[in-house]
Structure 1
Amino acid sequence: MPSYPQHSPNRPILVIGSLNMDLVMRTPRVPQGGETLFGHDFATLPGGKGANQALACARLGGHVAMVGRIGDDNFGQVLKSGLARDGVHVSQITVTGGVTSGVAMILVEDIGQNRILISAGANGQVTAGDIDGVAAQIEQAAMLVVQLEVPLPAVLAAIKHAHAAGVPVLLNPAPAAALPDTLWPMVDLLVPNESEATLLSGVDVKDTASAAEAAAVLRARGVRTVLITLGAQGVLICDAQGVRRLPAQKVKAVDTTAAGDTFVGGLAVGLTEGMSLDDAAALGQAASAICVTRIGAQPSIPWRSELTPTERARS
């Protein structure tokens, strides 16, 4: 397992990824084809996996900067200013003329499950050239955090820059997509959920045993550490020390939006603070347990002060 540099003003966690405005509506259930249902509690909320993860890092105590694109619209300004207000460095979030900011249409069932449809907008304009332009920031980062809501060439360029500089890479492969074989050995931490692990590994992940099998397949490709998030079943960790499962806290979930992003933020912050892998994962779990009890993406992400003293100070 690689070491993770302690975070400092000169070595932030660097998140490269998406910014979306989430248009959220709650519903008793998902409508069938051709069916119209009455929903309730519509809200317009900032989100996007990249922005969510950057915000989670900041609220959980990390020093974090973000790279991404927004459109020249009001949604974009709201997204950027919201991150800045909560402590994310946003100087590398650029405005793209002639396109909208990313938008996500989210249906949240009353049982807490969500269904999401995304229009990439400016997120789809992030290029490998953009990444080359921030190569110096990548090389000076304590950790690189990336997802798959911006074009894959940009993600691959970021990972290559980080790997060449010895910067740890955390990849949240969401939404799931086929990835090149050359990518895997450059990934220090791979954090998929069950469906993403299933697509990437070819193993049908439905319980702890199948998750362990999928994680072993992914590690065999060269990934150093795999953490598969299993919802109410917790998190399965597979690394050079073996396989173990960290159970989830029992809470009443009302909205799972951003739960995985909150976990990623806690994990990244914990590792760059010098925590063990298991304690950093537990920090992410504790934050996610709060997240799922609230509505929306970014509004649901907790601050470090909201965790218990033990959860805040794992070492």
Structure 2
Amino acid sequence: MTAQEANAQFKVVVVGQVARDLVLQIERMPDDGGSVPVQKRQELLGGKGANQGVACRRLGADVSLVGVLGDDQAGHTVLAQVAADGMDVNGVVIRDGAPTALLLDIVQPDGVRRLFEDVDSRVLLEAGDVRASEDLLRSANAVLIQLQQPAAAVTAALDAADPDALVVTDGAPPDNQTRERVLRRAVVVRADVEETEALVGWKPADLTETIEAAQKLLEEGPRVVALASPTGGNVVAWPGGHVVLPFIEEEPVDPTGAGDAFVAALTVGLLHGQDPETAAWWAAVAAARVVGKAGGRPELDLDEIRQAAANARRR
């Protein structure tokens, strides 16, 4: 049985950014006024929403994407790529007169990355865009919401999700009112170091403080909290326990999309009924598979992730 056949009963809706992603691999940054050759160029489907959607799809879930593209050639090309990746595009809005978001990912050896973002405010989600996809959201087993979107869109997505859905948020909410709504409704909360500061009001300085931050957030409602540690790796906590996950990939090429693959595999693991610790190891392995290549597009296989996670956990 393939991963898609095994996981076909799970429907995931991802609410977030969709963009054109241009990845350039170079040996070094040029000096002022100078130039360097590009070793490899990739033009990909990108954005956090699209990355998480692709990862969930490759782990076998049925995926619908809710996001915004511009009504330009790039937008129509990206929309075709979303469909080609096997995702439902009925929730993707084509905004008249808006330019499709562009992400420029400059990758140097040893995993050094610089990301340039050209994101017009018109390609951010509006509450009406989300409400137009209420039927999709209500039918989903899991709803993944990127908190980099405007507060009204985030709130609309929280409201539209089925009460029994696994609601997963990624990032930091734009204001305190949205923060409170997120922590009351989300089942899973994921944040990097800077986003953790916005969620708890202080920036963890080490692993111990990251664990403390995760436990504080659990007290406010979520059942699983996943936070990046400033000293490397991730902490995943749940009521009564936590696990510290190291970086598994020893030779990172590009960190782009690692967090998105982490979120996707954590979600799929929980949908499969795995306990939070097991799902967390699935997430760590998925992230490692992404950073091993440039561009943030994961080559993920559910059975391989499951086995590799079991092996990593025994080490």
What TM-score do you get using the length of structure 1 for normalisation?
0.85
How far apart, CA to CA, are the structure 2 residues paired with 1:119 and 1:227? Answer: 28
Q: How far 1:56 sits from its partner (Å)?
A: 0.3
3-state DSSP of counterpart to 1:303: coil
CA, structure 1 residues 39+264, in 2 after alignment: closer, same or farther (shift >3 Å)?
farther
How far apart, CA to CA, are the structure 2 residues paired with 1:36 and 1:210? Answer: 43
Q: How far 1:161 sits from its partner (Å)?
A: 2.1
Deviations 1:197-222 (A, max 9, x none): 13322332343212112212323333
How far apart, CA to CA, are the structure 2 residues paired with 1:241 and 1:37? Answer: 54
Q: How far 1:289 sits from its partner (Å)?
A: 0.8
Contact 1:45-1:297 within 8 A present in 2 as well: no
Q: Structure 1 regions of 5+ residues with no counterpart?
A: 1-5
> Aligned match of 1:166 in 164, 167, 170?
164
How far apart, CA to CA, are the structure 2 residues paired with 1:129 and 1:208? Answer: 40
Q: Output aligned runs, 1:103-182, within 5 Å.
A: 103-121=102-120, 124-162=123-161, 165-173=163-171, 177-180=174-177, 181-182=180-181
Deviations 1:48-79 (A, max 9, x none): 00000000000112221111121122222222
Deviations 1:256-313 (A, max 9, x none): 0000001111111111122222222211211211110101122xx1121683661489
Deviations 1:198-251 (A, max 9, x none): 332233234321211221232333333211134884321122122321333242
Q: Does residue 1:69 correspond to 2:68, yes or no?
A: yes
Residue aligning to 1:48: 47
Residue aligning to 1:80: 79
The ranges of structure 1 where at least 4 consecutive aligned residues each deviate by more than 6 angstroms after the TM superposition are none
Deviations 1:2-38 (A, max 9, x none): xxxx9655x5111111111122334556679x77563
Deviations 1:106-163 (A, max 9, x none): 2333231323232223763421112222222212110110113432211111012226
CA, structure 1 residues 138+177, in 2 after alignment: closer, same or farther (shift >3 Å)?
same
CA RMSD of aligned residues (A): 2.8
Residue aligning to 1:184: 183
Amino acid in the other structure paired with 2:304: L
CA, structure 1 residues 179+113, in 2 after alignment: closer, same or farther (shift >3 Å)?
farther
How far apart, CA to CA, are the structure 1 residues paired with 2:205 and 2:109? Answer: 23
How far apart, CA to CA, are the structure 2 residues paired with 1:306 and 1:256? Answer: 23
Amino acid in the other structure paired with 1:86: D
Q: How far 1:88 sits from its partner (Å)?
A: 1.3
Q: Does residue 1:302 correspond to 2:289, yes or no?
A: no
3-state DSSP of counterpart to 2:111: coil
- Which shifted more, 262-271 or 67-76? 67-76
3-state DSSP of counterpart to 1:183: helix
CA, structure 1 residues 204+152, in 2 after alignment: closer, same or farther (shift >3 Å)?
same
Q: Does residue 1:38 correspond to 2:36, yes or no?
A: yes
How far apart, CA to CA, are the structure 2 residues paired with 1:313 and 1:62? Answer: 21
Amino acid in the other structure paired with 1:40: V
User: How many residues end up aligned between the 2 structures?
Assistant: 303
Amino acid in the other structure paired with 1:127: E
How far apart, CA to CA, are the structure 1 residues paired with 2:157 and 2:254? Answer: 31
How far apart, CA to CA, are the structure 2 residues paired with 1:38 and 1:178? Answer: 42
Contact 1:16-1:146 within 8 A present in 2 as well: yes
Structure with higher RCO (Cα < 8 A, 6+ apart): 1
What TM-score do you get using the length of structure 2 for normalisation?
0.85
Residue aligning to 1:202: 201
CA, structure 1 residues 179+62, in 2 after alignment: closer, same or farther (shift >3 Å)?
farther
Deviations 1:149-190 (A, max 9, x none): 432211111012226x3322100016x744423332111111
3-state DSSP of counterpart to 2:268: helix
Identical amino acids, percent of aligned pairs:
28
Residue aligning to 1:216: 215
CA, structure 1 residues 312+242, in 2 after alignment: closer, same or farther (shift >3 Å)?
closer
3-state DSSP of counterpart to 1:90: coil
Contact 1:219-1:225 within 8 A present in 2 as well: yes
How far apart, CA to CA, are the structure 2 residues paired with 1:14 and 1:158? Answer: 10
Q: Structure 2 regions of 5+ residues with no counterpart?
A: 1-5
Q: Output aligned runs, 1:211-290, within 5 Å.
A: 211-230=210-229, 233-290=232-289
3-state DSSP of counterpart to 1:171: strand
Q: Output aligned runs, 1:81-96, within 5 Å.
A: 81-96=80-95
Contact 1:203-1:210 within 8 A present in 2 as well: no
How far apart, CA to CA, are the structure 2 residues paired with 1:220 and 1:79? Answer: 40
3-state DSSP of counterpart to 1:111: helix
Contact 2:99-2:123 within 8 A present in 1 as well: no
